[in-house]
Each structure stands twice: as C-alpha cells, then as structure tokens.
Amino acid sequence: MTNRESTSDAWNRLEYRPLEGFVYAVSPFNFTAIAGNLPSCMALMGNVVVWKPSDSQIYSAKVIMDVFEEAGVPPGVINVVFGDPKMITDVVLASPDFSGLHFTGSTHVFKALWKQIGNNIDHYKTYPKIVGETGGKDFIVAHKTANPIQVATAIARGAFEFQGQKCSAASRAYISKSIRKDVKEQLVKDVKSFKMGSPEDMSNFITAVIHEGSFDKLAKYIDQAKADNNAEIIVGGGYDKSKGYFIEPTVILTDDPKYTTMCDELFGPVITIYIFEDDAFSETLKLVDTTSDYALTGAIIAKDRYAIIEATQALQNAAGNFYINDKPTGAVVGQQPFGGARGSGTNDKAGSLINLQRWVSPRMIKETFVTPTDYRYPFLGE
C-alpha cells in the first residue's frame, strides 16, 4: 500500500492487488534456472500461476518446482503442467478467470496466443495483461576505429556461447572494411580453438543444439550458404548428428546485406558478416535499423566517441538492450533489465520493477473525514 497526497479533508491511498483470476506462464527450452522467473515474479505479486514449460525443458522445470516447495511456496500457488502445449493453452485461455500471460518463446507462437486471447476477449472477467519476450536478430556493428581483437571476441562469445541458443545471441555483424582482415584472422583462430563435445566436460565451449528439429533447420541454412554465390563460409560449416546434434560454429560472409541469414532468426551457432565501406557508417546504421523485424539486442564497438553517439541515436529503436564496446548478450538481473520491442516483444523488462508492476491491479482508496450532507456547491448560492 502506498500513500498518495492527502489533504485535511481526505486520506488518499493506493493499494496493489493481485490480478483477479489466475495467470499463465510459458517458458522456452533455453531457460533452465531462469525459467523460474516467469511464474515466480507473478506469484510474488500475489497471483496464482499455471506454468507450462517447454517440452524440452521438463527436467529443469521439475527441479525448480522442487526448490519452490522446499523454499516454502504453498501448494497451489505455482502449478506446473506438463503435456501437449496446444491442449494446455486452449484450456487455460478458454477460462473466464484467465487474467494474464507471461511468455518467452518464438514470435509466431506469441502472436498466435495474442490472437487467441483476442478471440476469447468476450469470455474474460477482465482484460488480460499480456507480456512477451520473443525472438531477436541481434547485431554487432564494428566501426573503423574498433579494436579488431575486441570485435572478434565479441563475435566469438556473442554468437557461439550456448551454441547461439539465446534470443540475445549475435547473429549478424557489420564490419568496417579497413579492419576486416584483422577481425577475420582473429575470429577464425578463435573458432578453430573451440572444444566441442558433451556439456559434462566443462572445458567444452560448444555442445549440441537442443534437438533434431533445430539441427535440421540449421543444417539447411548452412547447406544453402554453401550453394549460394553471394555467401561464403569462412570457418565452420560442418554438422553431425550421429551422436548428439552437433553443429559446428559457423561464420558466413556475404556481400548482400539482405541475405537470408542476415534476416532470419536461426537460433544456433551461425553468424553472418557483411563488410561495409569505412565512409558508409551512417548508411550502414540505417541498414542495421531496417533489415530486421526484431529489436532485442545490439552492440556498437568503436573508439570514436562521435561514432558511438551517432550509433546510439540512430539505433534507438533497433534494440531494447544496447551495448557499447561489448557483446550484445549476458544481461544481468538488477543491472541490465532485459527486453526488446518490435517483433521481439512487449519490452516489459524482465528482472525489473517494470515487469513486476504488470502483475498487479492498483486500487485507489479515498477516505473522507467530513462527509458532505448538502448536495449544493457554493457556486449554486445566490
């Protein structure tokens, strides 16, 4: 409860109620421990939650529920449901008590859920709150003054950590022509030094992608790049699913800034690089801004402060999380609230007060000390 400005005539106060009904949390496969954030932040604000984790994240979700129980979260507050996602969602969204959706996952699924909620709007007791963090086509822009080793490191980490299976992973890069050779040399050296194998061995920088569907999708894009005249694989390009779904970290070089892999979200260890002329920095920033439907994360790497300022301003709508002289990944709760707009979601900033406030319904209470006994206002007098 928060005090508002009160007067000698009335006491004004604002209280924050949980939403009326229950809320629905949907988490993706690449959320393990952090998947607990979606249902717990809503429960923290007093809501009853139905949580549907990804089919590929069931084990970690079970561990999280065990932790919730041991920590003392009462039964019935967070209710995890495993099963057919469409069936679960249809039942949840058909209930008149549905009051909110907290979603992380693919853009097309989020849009489908939004449409489904809209079609059911006449059945709900209240207008549901909808919060979603979806896809990304995240970028790195390297100005001619950038340190090539720093650029290569930002690409190696930003594109290939967790096999690129992060919505924030760098998947397109724009490199100024004068530094391209040094960046390429260092990047190829770094990628070839990666160890790949089981996640049980912590010295492996690269492990398998999540499942066969992801593997097949990525292999198709890699094969296409090998066949296209306007694309060249400068390192990587191999894949093998004989024992685990392993995709080699792959760097594609293209002379077409609208090449397929510069536009499509791949969600794997593949990044595409476009080289721009040193004097075309401003034009390239416009290209970065207009190439993708997404606007999740992005980075500018430069020593020139004027270039940094120009990029920060020109790309103000291209990324909800913008990084200067760093890779575009690795947001820390409490330090960099996370989320993007456009096709990347509602930008309600997970891990921040902004997100928490979405899961409450404020009630204003005015308590009058001297209650009127005459309907007439002073201006009505003679």
Rounded Cα distance, 126 and 360, in Å: 13
Rounded Cα distance, 296 and 265, in Å: 12
Rounded Cα distance, 51 and 102, in Å: 9
Q: Calculate the alpha carbon distances from 379 to 142, 211, 375, 382 in Å.
A: 68, 75, 12, 8
Whether 133 is catalytic is: yes
Amino acid at 162: F
Whether 41 is catalytic is: no
Rounded Cα distance, 349 and 233, in Å: 36
Identify whether the C-beta of residue 294 lies closer than 8 Å to the C-beta of residue 273: no
The answer for 259, left when phi > 0, alpha when psi is -120 to 50, beta otherwise, is beta
Task: For residue 231, give both structure tokens.
Answer: 């694309």
Catalytic residue among 133, 161, 248, 265: 133
Q: How many residues are listed for the chain in this entry?
A: 382
Catalytic residue among 41, 167, 248, 265: 167
Q: Please identify every residue annotated as catalytic.
A: 133, 167
